[in-house]
Amino acid sequence: MVEETGCLDEASSSPPGDSYAWRNGEPLLRPVACEPLTRLVGLVETGRLMRENPMSILPGALFRQTRLSGPHFGRSIHEVSGPAEMKSILLDNYEAWRKSPLIMRMLRPILGEAILTAHGENWHRQRKSLQPAFLRRRIEGFAPIMAEVAETTALRLSAEDQPVEIQAVLNDATFSVIERVLFSDAQEFDRVRVRSAIEVILAETGTLRMSDLLPAPEWVPRLMSARALRARHVFRKAAMAQIRRRRESGNSGDDLLGLLLELRDPETGDGLSDRDIRDTVMTFIAAGHETTAIALTWALYLVASDAPTQKRLRAEAAEAMAHGRALSAADLPRLTFSRQVIEEAMRLYPPAPILGRRAIAETEICGHPVKKGDVALLAFYALHRHETLWDQPDHFDPDRFSPERRPKDRYQFMAFGGGPRACIGANFALMEATIFLSTLVAKLGFTPVEGHDVYPVMQVTLRPRGGMALNIQTLRN
């Protein structure tokens, strides 16, 4: 698919598996990793590999170099994995780039013209309007909901006497959080049907087809199955019902939906339309709970595999939760190691490991000319494991995010993207993940399930193939 700009050495990329390195006499876990591509492949095999796991097309050279370019259907494709290249595309020249047509064809039929899929003036208007809803002082008001659901989840897990599929449990928990944050007084909201609909939509969206490899403009619809169309109808109807009920009540409410209903463009004073709010609500529900659940799943896998980290994390959480009280936003400054574990988990397993962009004008990437129509693949996964950027890049070391060692370059760690289109909910997600991880580890012990193979696959997000089974032990104080 891509002509590499440097020689490829298969031996340079260690195979995935659990092994240890050492730092200051302490062992560092080397968890499972995606196997990089170490040979040139043709279009047909590229299609097969992408259908199985898009991560399998990342060239090994991309973990040593920062840009690889080659032909792509009469244009060029540029795979990038360096901070300067990320900044060039996402910040310096971001107006020359647009989300890839494939991503737009996959997401727009589901999420409409929400902030994730909007472009141009529509996106600018939504971003300006939504930004106040995600100020730190606003989202800290949702911490009690997160803590309460985390406590309930710990209680649910404590009743298990066999290995638990932790990803499913966390998906349910983070869905409960976003449901309560959006709809504090939800009535006639069938969460079971909506959750089921989301699972159907994510499964279909995350399944690549051979036709997806062919160039097509974003306005060409990607066919959806009858099952997915029904799921979209269920999702849209449920969101719109809550919006209309709130409008009719005359009380916007003290929750995220209330904030959306009250938002006004700072320049025009216009509010969001019901359709804008519906698409935004659907985006928050679908993306907001899935990515956090996946980040927590990988974090618990790492913690379960690394006893010293689990012990240290538990000590920090126990001190913050003295006398059995639930965590609050005021505790977050004391949960520094928990946040480091979350960030290190998102470095090793970024929820969105690859981002696609298409040039809509002639531009450049760090001085390298780019023609209109060229494609860029921003390989966050390779960036996060780049040999020249990180010490022991494939090893689990939460202290690399300590105040003394965390990356100085904003574009070296891209778990939430970067530039004007960086994830608007980053602070919300980090707060939720930190509260959940601390609460669960304070009350429960986690160990790997012997014989359960773990391997990362990209299906919209980077998730463990076949789920994540962990042993759970209830701790007695």
Binding residues: 423
CB 130 within 8 A of CB 280: yes
CB 399 within 8 A of CB 340: yes
What residues are designated binding site for heme?
A: 423
Give the contacts of 155 (CB within 8 A, at least 6 positions apart).
Answer: none
Amino acid found at 130:
L
Residue 377 corresponds to which tokens in the numbers above?
């693949």
Burial 387-418 (b: 16+ CB within 10 A, else e): eebbeebbbbbbbbbeeeeeeeeebbbbbbbb
